[in-house]
């Protein structure tokens, strides 16, 4: 059985999809919040760094007195390339950001629906075993 068809593989793939969609929405929301900030440069979610931060191996504490690693404050992002800037130096495009948020919301909803269906199957199997 391949990793993606196993229950844990499906759950991991859905979690990854939801993590990426949430990161895209957060970055687009930040861009929209700065639409009138002179000199602000639009950002895009950096999928590789976001996944490494969310799904990578957590640090292990070797001593109970050690402090745990701090969680990243937000999704990883980088400056969006190829966007035309206005005279004030800001290059945020409202239509582009709204489209990005809508697409990310759709991706999140699809993954959430699949995850809910998976849990319904598990609940059904538990109830049928009684």
**pLDDT tens sequence across 69-85:** 555 556 789 999 999 99
User: For 32-50, how does the pLDDT look when each residue is reduced to its tens digit (9 = 90+)?
Assistant: 999 999 999 999 998 776 5
Mean pLDDT across the chain: 84
pLDDT at 79: 93
Say how far apart CA 67 and CA 53 lie, in whole Å: 18
Which candidate, 50, 31, 29, 52, places its Cα nearest to that of 40? Answer: 31
Residues 6+ apart with CB under 8 A from 5: none
Domain boundaries, the chain: 7-56+74-128
The answer, as to whether pTM is greater than 0.85, is no
Nearest-angstrom CA–CA distance, 67 and 111:
34
pLDDT band of residue 1 (cuts 50, 70, 90) is very low
pLDDT score recorded for residue 28: 96
- Tell me which of 65 and 92 has the higher pLDDT: 92
Cα 34 from chain centre: 20
């Amino acid at each position: 059985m391949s990793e993606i068809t196993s229950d844990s593989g499906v759950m991991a793939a859905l979690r990854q999809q939801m993590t990426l969609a949430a990161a895209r929405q957060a970055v687009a929301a930040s861009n929209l919040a700065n639409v009138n900030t002179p000199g602000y440069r639009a950002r895009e979610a950096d999928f590789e760094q976001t996944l490494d931060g969310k799904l990578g191996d957590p640090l292990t504490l070797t001593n109970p007195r050690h402090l745990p690693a701090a969680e990243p404050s937000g999704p990883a992002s980088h400056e969006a390339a190829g966007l035309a800037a206005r005279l004030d130096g800001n290059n945020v495009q409202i239509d582009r950001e709204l489209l990005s948020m809508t697409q990310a919301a759709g991706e999140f909803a699809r993954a959430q629906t699949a995850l809910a269906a998976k849990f319904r199957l598990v609940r059904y199997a538990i109830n049928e075993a009684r």
